[in-house]
């Protein structure tokens, strides 16, 4: 409001009138938004198109009554939102509902606290594994279905627990909530979801140069260590992917740190270049890795001795797998595997080799090393997973939270990779030399791993929703710049098969509403009260005749002339 500075009391009065009117309007407008029984954060199911087919939840706005499981059979749920806590989930029921396309107003899943970062903590929950598997199954069901109503996830807390208990009580009495019987109303006022235009994927690479001896004209060989850092899950605002692939990113950063310490001193600098790659686009057939590799020039690509890709090394006990696409009899593969096995034996880890042939005509890329192999670079993936995951599976969903990742596992994995690499670089294969021994200056730092793992477990990293200048991407770049000589960022567009829609999180308001019949009844009661009051007052102050005369028309007067 710009108040003109003209003098004159009249003007001043007018302006204060306007400001009063404006205040009244503001008061009128903003009164609706702040009086809910409960308001909680909710996270929407992902909405995406793949090769033209629509998947996920296609709507975001919600304005319906709440219902719980065990609704009376035959109840009409097309204008009701089903609230389902994970603990009571019956997956066949949901599958049936979705596959048979039964009409529903919306779905709200309540996740136990252990899956959230703030409250997960160290709670020991019974059947942790069972809940994890159930959630994984639910996620796979939801992301591959086309659901024409809003689906949201929320964490359990006291408010919503009381609301749910109340709804169940009402359902038990036998009256589901509709417009005439009161109950709870769930309102999510959010704009319609729009397509994310030109989603970017950002690859970050760090280059650590090896020691070039004077007179040596050949290009130094390079070893690449790669991990993809983005995730994909049922709720993009919750897809933190602590294990897939947060553990890989953390391990890569720690390895970079250790080797930067070694390479900082020319006396201990190895005769290999080290290339660290944090790639994006992992869930989408490692699209980002492919683009990154294509951007290399020929000489660099040919100088890569081999590449180690890290994928999910955060929750294993004693066994890791090395996945390759070249046959195990290949000399290079043998060398790599032997190097790893020797170190593994000393660390009491069992390492197995798995061979999966790649099929050039099949667009499905299950492991990151396959992108390297397609360009004829020797590569292997180190992972705790033994079988190749399907598309959009194992990419860091809802169940992949901090609770289920073990820092010790990552520490051991880092030691394994670092020692194997160091022995290869410095030519100590087969010798029992501990370069990164515990307690030394080059020991693996568990605090570093833990703090980065905590950060990753709080940052959802679904690529289309990570902008070019996202603070997390900047943080990764800065960290890699600290440990390497040269950092480059490559921005690409995730084009082609996938299209994403925004609106990933919102605020749910729960109102306790009275039904229309209640209001009508109240109006009736008040009307009769006022009428009774009126009659009572007329009778006591003016007399009964007056009351009756109110209702009788004045008799027609026949003027009698006397």
Q: What gap in Å lies between CA 342 and CA 414, rounded to an integer?
A: 15
User: Which run of H or of E encompasses 173?
Assistant: helix 158-173
Task: Answer yes or no whether residue 549 interacts with other proteins by CB under 8 A.
Answer: no
Task: Answer yes or no whether residue 402 interacts with other proteins by CB under 8 A.
Answer: no
Q: How far apart are CB 79 and other proteins at their closest, in Å?
A: 15
Q: Hey, what long-range contacts does 356-363 have (CB within 8 A, 24 or more apart)?
A: 356/323, 356/324, 356/325, 356/388, 357/325, 358/325, 363/285
Task: Answer yes or no whether residue 534 interacts with other proteins by CB under 8 A.
Answer: yes
Cα–Cα–Cα angle for 59, 466, 493, rounded to 5 degrees:
95
- From 68-76, 272-280, 448-456, 519-527, give the range in contact with other proteins by CB under 8 A: 519-527
Task: Answer yes or no whether residue 169 interacts with other proteins by CB under 8 A.
Answer: no
Residues 182-201 that bind other proteins (CB under 8 A): 182, 185, 187
User: Which run of H or of E encompasses 204?
Assistant: strand 200-208
Q: What gap in Å lies between CA 358 and CA 375, rounded to an integer?
A: 12
| CA distance readout (Å), 336 to 1, 17, 310, 347 | 72, 82, 15, 17
Considering only residues 51, 53, 541, 561, which one is a binding residue for other proteins as defined by CB under 8 A?
A: 541
Q: Which is nearer to other proteins, 70 or 542 (CB)?
A: 542
Contacts of 245 (CB under 8 A, 6+ apart): 227, 228, 229, 231, 282, 310, 311, 312, 396
Q: Which is nearer to other proteins, 493 or 521 (CB)?
A: 521
Q: How far apart are CB 527 and other proteins at their closest, in Å?
A: 8
Task: Answer yes or no whether residue 522 interacts with other proteins by CB under 8 A.
Answer: yes
- From 261-269, 429-437, 481-489, 526-534, give the range in contact with other proteins by CB under 8 A: 526-534
Task: Answer yes or no whether residue 39 interacts with other proteins by CB under 8 A.
Answer: no
Task: Answer yes or no whether residue 31 interacts with other proteins by CB under 8 A.
Answer: yes
CB atoms within 10 A of CB 297: 7
DSSP 8-state secondary structure symbol assigned to residue 45: P
Task: Answer yes or no whether residue 61 interacts with other proteins by CB under 8 A.
Answer: no
Q: Which is nearer to other proteins, 119 or 517 (CB)?
A: 517
Structure-token pair, residue 75: 């109840």
Beta strands in 312-366 (DSSP E): 319-324, 350-355
- From 28-36, 90-98, 320-328, 451-459, give the range in contact with other proteins by CB under 8 A: 28-36
Considering only residues 20, 533, 544, 548, which one is a binding residue for other proteins as defined by CB under 8 A?
A: 533
Considering only residues 375, 526, 544, 548, which one is a binding residue for other proteins as defined by CB under 8 A?
A: 526
Considering only residues 123, 334, 507, 542, which one is a binding residue for other proteins as defined by CB under 8 A?
A: 542
Considering only residues 516, 544, 545, 549, which one is a binding residue for other proteins as defined by CB under 8 A?
A: 516
Q: How far apart are CB 478 and other proteins at their closest, in Å?
A: 47
Q: What gap in Å lies between CA 449 and CA 461, rounded to an integer?
A: 18
Cα–Cα–Cα angle for 230, 234, 237, rounded to 5 degrees:
60
Q: Which is nearer to other proteins, 2 or 27 (CB)?
A: 27
- The pattern of x and - marking residues 431 through 460 that bind other proteins according to CB under 8 A reads ------------------------------
Considering only residues 523, 528, 545, 549, which one is a binding residue for other proteins as defined by CB under 8 A?
A: 523
Q: How far apart are CB 503 and other proteins at their closest, in Å?
A: 22
What are the residues facing 500 on neighbouring strands?
A: 48
Q: Which is nearer to other proteins, 130 or 542 (CB)?
A: 542
Q: Which is nearer to other proteins, 27 or 562 (CB)?
A: 27
Q: How far apart are CB 87 and other proteins at their closest, in Å?
A: 28
**Under 8 Å between Cβ of 372 and 305:** no
Q: Which is nearer to other proteins, 264 or 535 (CB)?
A: 535
Task: Answer yes or no whether residue 537 interacts with other proteins by CB under 8 A.
Answer: yes
CB atoms within 10 A of CB 406: 15
Task: Answer yes or no whether residue 132 interacts with other proteins by CB under 8 A.
Answer: no
Q: What gap in Å lies between CA 304 and CA 222, rounded to an integer?
A: 4
User: Which run of H or of E encompasses 82?
Assistant: strand 80-85
Task: Answer yes or no whether residue 514 interacts with other proteins by CB under 8 A.
Answer: yes
- From 87-95, 127-135, 459-467, 524-532, give the range in contact with other proteins by CB under 8 A: 524-532
Q: What gap in Å lies between CA 166 and CA 83, rounded to an integer?
A: 12
Q: Which is nearer to other proteins, 64 or 369 (CB)?
A: 64
Q: Which is nearer to other proteins, 478 or 542 (CB)?
A: 542
Task: Answer yes or no whether residue 530 interacts with other proteins by CB under 8 A.
Answer: yes
Q: What gap in Å lies between CA 38 and CA 381, rounded to an integer?
A: 47
Structure-token pair, residue 85: 């806590």
- Alpha helices (H) in 230-366, listed in sequence order: 248-264, 287-295, 298-303, 331-346
Q: What gap in Å lies between CA 104 and CA 56, rounded to an integer?
A: 15
- The pattern of x and - marking residues 474 through 513 that bind other proteins according to CB under 8 A reads -------------------------------------xxx
Q: Which is nearer to other proteins, 189 or 446 (CB)?
A: 189
| HEC string for 89-146 | CCHHHHHHHHHCCCCCCEEEEEECHHHCHHHHCCCCCCCHHHHHHHHHHHHHHHHCCE
Q: What gap in Å lies between CA 265 and CA 188, rounded to an integer?
A: 58
Q: How far apart are CB 531 and other proteins at their closest, in Å?
A: 9
What are the residues facing 510 on neighbouring strands?
A: 38, 186
Considering only residues 32, 129, 216, 346, which one is a binding residue for other proteins as defined by CB under 8 A?
A: 32
Chain residues binding other proteins by CB under 8 A are: 27, 31-32, 34-37, 182, 185, 187, 511-514, 516, 519, 522-523, 526, 529-530, 533-535, 537-538, 541-542
């Amino acid at each position: 409001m710009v108040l003109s500075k003209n003098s004159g009391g009249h003007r001043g009065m007018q302006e204060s009138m306007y400001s009063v009117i404006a205040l009244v309007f503001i008061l009128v407008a903003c009164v609706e938004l702040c009086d809910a029984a409960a308001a909680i954060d909710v996270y929407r199911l992902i909405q995406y198109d793949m090769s033209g087919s629509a998947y996920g939840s296609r709507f975001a706005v919600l304005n319906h009554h709440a219902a719980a499981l065990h609704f009376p059979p035959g109840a009409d749920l097309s204008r009701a939102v089903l609230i389902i806590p994970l603990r009571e989930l019956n997956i066949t029921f949901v599958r049936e509902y979705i596959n048979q396309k039964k009409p529903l107003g919306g779905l709200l899943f309540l996740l136990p606290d252990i899956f959230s970062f703030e409250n997960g903590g160290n709670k020991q929950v019974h059947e942790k594994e069972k809940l994890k598997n159930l959630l994984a199954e639910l996620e796979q069901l939801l992301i591959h279905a086309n659901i024409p109503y809003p689906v949201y996830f929320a964490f359990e807390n006291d408010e919503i627990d009381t609301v749910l208990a109340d709804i169940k009580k009402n359902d038990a009495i036998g009256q589901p909530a509709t417009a005439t019987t009161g109950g709870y109303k769930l309102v999510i006022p959010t704009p319609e979801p729009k397509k994310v235009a030109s989603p970017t994927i950002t690859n970050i690479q760090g280059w650590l140069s090896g020691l070039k001896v004077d007179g040596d004209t050949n290009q130094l060989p390079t070893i690449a260590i790669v991990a993809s850092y983005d995730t994909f899950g049922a709720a993009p605002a919750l897809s933190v992917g602590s294990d897939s692939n947060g553990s890989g990113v953390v391990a890569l950063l720690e390895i970079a740190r250790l080797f930067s310490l070694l390479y900082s001193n020319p006396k201990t600098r190895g005769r290999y270049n080290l290339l660290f790659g944090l790639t994006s686009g992992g869930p989408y057939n490692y699209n980002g890795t492919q683009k990154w590799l294509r951007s290399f020039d020929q000489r660099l690509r040919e100088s890569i001795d081999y590449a180690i890709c890290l994928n999910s090394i955060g929750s294993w006990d004693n066994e890791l797998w090395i996945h390759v696409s070249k046959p195990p009899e290949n000399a290079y593969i043998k060398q790599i595997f032997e190097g790893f096995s020797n170190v593994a034996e000393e660390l009491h880890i069992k390492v197995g080799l798995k061979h999966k042939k790649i099929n050039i005509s099949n667009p499905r890329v299950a492991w990151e090393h396959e992108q390297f192999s397609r360009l004829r670079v020797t590569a292997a993936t180190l992972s705790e997973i033994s079988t190749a995951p399907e598309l959009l599976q194992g990419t860091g969903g809802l169940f992949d939270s901090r609770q289920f990742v073990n820092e010790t596992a990552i520490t051991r994995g880092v030691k394994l990779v670092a020692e194997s690499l160091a022995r290869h670089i410095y030519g100590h294969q087969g010798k029992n030399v501990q370069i990164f021994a515990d307690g030394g200056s080059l020991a693996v730092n568990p605090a570093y791993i833990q703090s980065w793992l905590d950060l990753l477990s709080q940052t959802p990293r679904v690529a289309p929703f990570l902008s070019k200048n996202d603070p997390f991407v900047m943080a990764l770049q800065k960290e890699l710049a600290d440990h390497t000589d040269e950092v480059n960022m490559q921005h690409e567009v995730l084009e082609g098969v996938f299209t994403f829609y925004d609106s990933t999180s919102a605020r749910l308001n729960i109102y306790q509403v009275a039904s229309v019949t209640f209001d009508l009844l109240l109006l009736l009661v008040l009307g009769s009260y006022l009428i009774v009051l009126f009659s009572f007052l007329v009778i006591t102050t003016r007399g009964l005749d007056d009351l009756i005369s109110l209702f009788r028309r004045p008799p027609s007067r026949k003027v009698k002339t006397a």
